[in-house]
């Protein structure tokens, strides 16, 4: 298994982001939505959806999220308005810790993203509104570490990297 790229984003007062690194596995899986959903499910990440990435900054305060790029390309800004734009291509997988903002900043025609959550968690969508920051930050920090990496299961780098970030 390849080692994922790691990115860290600081709390900017609007988006809490996370002490855990965002992880990107490049060309980790075949560019196939069914296959991605099956792999994620086999590794205990479910409540899957297929669509794209919202074109506005948002985050989930109560769940980590995995995105598999099943078709096309998308440029996503992670970390909020002062964050970093990262290009993702078919076959890439990104694991987003709870609290980390993300926003679509451009895409090829017809991208398809497969998303899922550890243990099939129901997720909220937060926009970094005034007054929600402290509660969202506490909620994101309280999210339990997943039991398995969505790509590589219990042997995946996510468990080692996230446990080491504590």
pLDDT per position in the chain (166 positions), as tens? 689 999 999 999 999 999 999 999 999 999 999 999 999 999 999 999 999 999 999 999 999 999 999 999 999 999 999 999 999 999 999 999 999 999 999 999 989 999 999 999 999 999 999 899 999 999 999 999 999 999 999 989 999 999 988 6
The answer to whether position 157 is within a domain reads: no
CATH number for the domain that contains residue 56 = 2.60.120.10
The answer to whether position 46 is within a domain reads: yes
The answer to whether position 161 is within a domain reads: no
| pLDDT in the model for residue 13 | 95
Nearest to 33 by CA among 51, 60, 55: 51
Using CA atoms, how far residue 25 sits from 88, 90, 124, 131, 139, in Å, is 10, 11, 25, 34, 26
Give the predicted TM-score (pTM) of the model. Answer: 0.97
The answer to whether position 158 is within a domain reads: no
Range of the domain at 61: 5-152
Nearest to 76 by CA among 52, 99, 50, 97: 52
Determine the Cα–Cα distance for residues 93 and 72; give it in Å rounded to an integer.
13
The answer to whether position 160 is within a domain reads: no
| pLDDT in the model for residue 2 | 80
The answer to whether position 124 is within a domain reads: yes
Nearest to 43 by CA among 22, 61, 64, 59: 64
| DSSP at 20 | S
The answer to whether position 166 is within a domain reads: no
Using CA atoms, how far residue 94 sits from 14, 79, 151, 164, in Å, is 22, 14, 10, 19
| pLDDT in the model for residue 164 | 82
The answer to whether position 83 is within a domain reads: yes
Count of structural domains, the chain: 1
């Amino acid at each position: 298994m390849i080692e994922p790229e790691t990115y860290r984003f600081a709390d900017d007062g609007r988006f809490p982001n996370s002490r855990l690194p965002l992880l990107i596995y490049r060309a980790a899986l075949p560019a196939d939505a069914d296959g991605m959903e099956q792999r994620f499910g086999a590794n205990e990440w479910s409540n899957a959806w297929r669509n794209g990435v919202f074109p506005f900054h948002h985050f989930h305060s109560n769940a980590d999220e995995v995105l598999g790029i099943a078709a096309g390309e998308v440029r996503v800004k992670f970390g909020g308005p002062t964050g970093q734009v990262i290009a993702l291509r078919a076959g890439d997988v990104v694991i987003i810790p709870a609290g980390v903002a993300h926003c679509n900043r451009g895409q090829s025609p017809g991208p398809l993203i497969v998303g899922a959550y550890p243990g099939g968690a129901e997720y909220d969508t937060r926009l970094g509104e005034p007054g929600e920051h402290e509660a969202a930050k506490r909620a994101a920090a309280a999210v339990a570490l997943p039991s398995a990496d969505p790509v590589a299961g219990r042997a995946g780098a996510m468990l080692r990297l996230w446990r080491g970030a504590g």
